[in-house]
Structure 1
């Protein structure tokens, strides 16, 4: 039975106001709890530089709404964009969003070709590389002593693995790191400057740098293929289909950004959570392997590295008692759905044994579930296993310095000691 919306005051909440996203996390989660009790709430859009405000959007904050919308892609479409609230040019969205901003049949074709790099066999081959890289990173941590956990540990593992998967030379890893920071910088002035025109220039420059790097690499791999993902993509032939140069470039931006930033933030949040919940650290550390599976899922649920994705209604549609109209924009707030008290008991508690845990931290069920989810789980587990084994007392020494963004639950710095 659908629960009727309750008369809850949400007039002080504006998800389009960046000041909301600069508030302490506890205040934001309390606001989402009220929004869940209220049901779908409509918000006006804010403009961004030369882009005028749009028609507004519905905030889907309940787990049931996010899951149902994810399962109904023919109605809740990813086109024209899944990654921006404003209606930006289609080429812009696909350049930065790749197949995330596509619907079938284009999405299915793209995913069919690129998924060859994420098969269980390919990921199994990566396990040794991930473990060796995690060990080298902890070597560096031990040499560094007290330091910033983000730059010394959490940012290095996914960046190294993705670059090595693609066959990117080591001297180009820094370019990937810096450019991906800008692409997912939200509205943070540390990366984008103080005004929208500067931010747009920085964003396009970063995307162009990544695309140019991959174009040069792809040209080399066409004539001299190697055992890397770039070679597999540029020489792919699945039922006569291959990726264009533009598609390869946009997919690399997606991989470099989504696979790097989100996993890095999950690892960073893991240390912060284990520091703030010593009972859960003690429990997990008492038998790392026994609890690793549920603990990693709980880190992803609790952190929700990707806050939302957008969908656009293709037709009039009723869902859970609410009527949507063709053309309506909706934002699927994973960060709220993952704390829905009707699904998760004591949702604000960090519980490394939580089971079941039907979180949507990798996206909801359906064709857009994260292609790299298994890789992310492997990386998070590997680095935390290495820390548990060799630096079991590591802890955060101050609160995280957070990214100002409504899209990514990012951390710029987290001081640590051991």
Structure 2
């Protein structure tokens, strides 16, 4: 980034922050939400009070309605790009990955990855997830009584499993972990200029790493995603300019969702001792219910953005093409019209409509089944082997209005 561009970026960020602050001071709940509060749920209640759809003072349309959000996520009149093909910000690497594409290119890339990420095929990763969970617990039990659950366990398990699935050799694992931590800021929705610059550097390093790994897999194919995609490169269905961002996007997005799902689940259980005791009495049977209730009660991905692709009417409002619609999944998953007593964490809750924690429609998370599998195995192992876990200090949350998770979660073994 040149010095002039750096100054322009800083000036633009300052203007936006001033505008955001002024709109928030007028009581706009969505503007307040973009400040990344530690507890967004009171703001979601205010969004619900404004009806299924309203326009923020920032100009963005906003919904926290489960019914409407579910409808929009499945509606082909909405996408992730503007009608003029709007590009992602300069430091975003996912322009050529599924995260930043609409059909037909999104459809083509998704079709290529589905065979590797098919839920039936992902079952084979169950033993590996159990093995890694137990290895991490063994290490914890040999260490200090107090530890940061996020760095010692929650961040480690998904990185190990997704690294195996994608095909990252052992000698690159440490670098992969370090770069993933730096690139995770891409998903937060807020970043300083300094963070954006560091993300750029991490992207360049990650790109070089995957170029090397892809060359290795060309010479020695294995049972992994990279090897599965190589025939598509050879026959022209996939370009290298698309494959590298795809290999970067899948581990990053898949890892972050699972990391925070595991962390949020354990914190909710420890905050509700009666639920923790119930879970410890039958961890294997109750693990799916714990994961499902955590996805609803404190979902790792709190918000999705959609762009209107044509002028249309929605809930009595006229939305112009290229308008932006914010789908507050964290609010939709606590919609009182759908979930009784939505603020209560209850692992015995009767199953209701599916949550929007993994989105819906064409952008439904490819790794949803793997995230559930890993979280269920991890939480059951923790309940069985570390039943005395307790929180011993305040958490430090991520500064994000998109990703709901923790950086520090101090716990101890009794």
Q: Could you state the TM-score of these two structures normalised by the residue count of structure 1?
A: 0.85
Residue 24 (structure 1) aligned with residue 22 (structure 2) = no
Tell me which of 357, 381, 395 is aligned to 1:400: 395
In proportion to residue count, which structure has more helix?
A: 2
CA contact (8 A) 1:57 1:328 kept: yes
Change (3 A) 1:147 1:172: same
Aligned residue for 1:77? 79
> Is it true that 1:43 corresponds to 2:56 in the alignment?
yes
Distance 1:412 1:200, change over 3 A: same
Could you tell me how far 1:91 is from its partner in structure 2? 7.7
The answer to whether structure 1 residue 199 and structure 2 residue 195 are counterparts is yes
State whether residues 16 and 43 of structure 1, in contact with CA within 8 Å, keep that contact through their aligned partners in structure 2. yes
Separation of aligned partners in 1, 2:378 and 2:96: 28
**RMSD across aligned positions (CA):** 2.6
CA distance in 2, matches of 1:280, 1:241: 52
Among 371, 379, 382, the alignment partner of 1:384 is 379
Deviation, 1:350, is 0.6
Distance, in Å, in 1 between the alignment partners of 2:33 and 2:64 is: 18
Which one of the candidate residues 62, 65, 69 is aligned to 1:59? Answer: 62
Q: Decide which of 366, 374, 396 is 1:371's aligned counterpart.
A: 366
User: Do 2:358 and 2:368's aligned partners in 1 also have CA atoms closer than 8 Å?
Assistant: no
Deviation at 1:254, TM superposition (A): 1.5
1:328 deviates by: 0.6
Q: Deviations over 1:312-351 (max 9, x none)?
A: 1111222233321111111111111111111111111111
- Pairing 1:226–2:222 present: yes
In the alignment, which residue of structure 2 is the partner of 1:5? none
Give the aligned partner of residue 346 of structure 1. 341
Stretch moving more, 376-385 or 210-219: 210-219
Q: Conserved in 1, the CA contact under 8 Å of 2:79 and 2:306?
A: yes
Checking the alignment, whether the CA contact within 8 Å between 1:13 and 1:31 is kept in structure 2 is no
Q: How far 1:398 sits from its partner (Å)?
A: 2.2
TM-score, scaled to structure 2: 0.86
1:250 aligns to what? 245
> How do 1:261-276 and structure 2 match up within 5 A?
261-276=256-271
Gaps of at least 5 residues in structure 1 are 1-8, 46-55, 82-86
| 1:19 CA drift (Å) | 7.3
Count of residue pairs brought into register by the alignment: 386
Matching of residues 81-96 of structure 1 within 5 Å: 88-89=87-88, 93=92, 95=94
User: Counterpart of 1:52?
Assistant: none
Report the CA distance shift for 1:372/1:152 in structure 2 as closer, same or farther (over 3 A).
same
Q: Residue 32 of structure 1: SS of its match in structure 2?
A: helix
Is the CA contact 1:130–1:161 (under 8 Å) kept in the aligned structure 2? yes
The residue that corresponds to 2:184 in the other structure is 184
Relative to structure 2, which stretch is displaced further, 147-156 or 94-103? 94-103
Contact kept? 1:57, 1:330, Cα under 8 Å: yes
Q: Which runs of 5+ in 2 are unaligned?
A: 1-23
| Residue 126 (structure 1) aligns with | 125
Whether the aligned pair in 2 keeps the contact of 1:96 and 1:253 (CA below 8 Å) is: no
